[in-house]
Amino acid sequence: MRLLISLLVLTLCNLASAETLLVFGDEVWTMNGKELIKDGYVLIKDGRIAEVGPASNATPDGTERILRGRIVTPGLVDAHTCVGLAGHLNSDHDRDELDRTTSIQPHLRAIDAYNPHERLIEWVRGFGVTTMHTGHAPQALVSGQTMLVKTTGNRVEDATIRPRAMIACSLSDTAIREKSPGSRAKAFAMLRQRLLDAAHHDRQMTQSDTEEAKPPKPDLELEALASVLRGETPLLIHAHRARDIANALRLKREFDIPIVLDGAAEAHLMIDELKEADIPVFIHPTMIRPYGECENLSFETASKLIKAGIPVAMQSGYESYVPRTRVVLYEAGMAAANGCSREEAMRMITIEPARILGIDERVGSIEIGKDGDLAIYDGDPFEWTTHCTGVVIDGSVVSDQPR
């Protein structure tokens, strides 16, 4: 009871401190499936969107803080990154995104490693990114869990939307060509065995609830994988080569588990198979370096997948070198120059990742009742000369310096 009262008081205090914002834009890109609003406005009260429409409908009473911009969009959603675990210095002390002591570690929680004060968070937020799907890097067979966060907050609890979003798995060369597994056949044998172990452990746990059987010893690793088998937690499978994408589809069929494809440089070679399997794709950053597994990437892959009706979201990805992160705004802009319409490109960094991640009731579009997350630009967001002049998260202005 004391805890509930404390949480209620904290919530009321946050609501009380939230500003009432009136944001005007020459164009408001709502991303709600309707046409953009020319000469529009967005009213945010108590941290949520209260009104949206033509500026002529706004009725300010003088108590609002007023912001203006050329283009107003929903706060951007980065479909997959390691920011907050991977740090800007690229040094041992700020690299918590990967543990190489063993190949399969689904029980490693992103929330235990996330640093809300990491400077990379502030950096991407300055370009309009308000929500991130972040976590362990795709460079181990199963590297750990991912989480959903807002790009603000003093403590990790302040930023967290969902502490466990997915479990990161990798079928790429960078994960397989380590000392263990060493080969694709061994990687699949190891992964398949742990999934079977998790299924057995889950059955034992269920039986102990209904019978007078002694429950098995708690096992964080198996319990995490069991959540995948129960359909509660998607497996985020990083794969670039067409054969590795095919292996991911086979794994989905064999265990009947939810998966999201990550990276997918050769996805344009597997369009029919991906569509039949009904698998969403977190496409690699458009400007990722085209060598090794990514040698067959295409700038037009995103547009081809979208044309085929496959859900696609843009990610900033994971960089093991400097720069430590990319900016999804510019990656989507490059897709807009290579087959995607401007609306399709913006959808890839707003409503589409929100839908795939299951948080579209809160973020991803400018609609009444959703979180007060906005990005404000002084020009076309996809033009290199445009600046992000304001960022709003949950009704609070978190950035007003042009970037």
Can you list the residues of the chain whose pLDDT is less than 70? 1-18, 208-212, 322
Q: What is the pLDDT of residue 13?
A: 46
Indicate the pairing of strand 48-54 with strand 37-45.
antiparallel
DSSP annotation of 323 reads: S
Looking at beta carbons, which pairs linking 89-92 to residues 24 or more positions away fall under 8 Å? 90/321, 90/322, 90/324
Beta bridge partners of 42: 23, 52
Q: What is the pLDDT of residue 174?
A: 85
Q: What is the pLDDT of residue 3?
A: 45
| Burial status of residue 57 (CB atoms within 10 A of its CB: 0-12, 13-18, 19 or more) | exposed
Q: What is the pLDDT of residue 9?
A: 45
Residue 96: phi, psi to the nearest 5?
-105, 15
Q: What is the pLDDT of residue 14?
A: 47
Check: CB of residue 82 under 8 Å from CB of residue 136: yes
Distance CA(96)–CA(103), nearest Å, equals 16
Residue with tokens 């096992």: 219
Distance CA(403)–CA(387), nearest Å, equals 5
Query: Which structural domains are found in the chain, ordered by start?
Result: 1-73+365-403 (2.30.40.10), 76-363 (3.20.20.140)
Residues in contact with 59: Cβ distance below 8 Å, sequence separation at least 6, in sequence order: none
Q: What is the pLDDT of residue 186?
A: 94
Check: CB of residue 310 under 8 Å from CB of residue 264: no
Check: CB of residue 267 under 8 Å from CB of residue 297: no
Kindly report, residue by residue over 298-313, the tens digit of the pLDDT: 999 999 999 999 999 9
Q: What is the pLDDT of residue 8?
A: 52
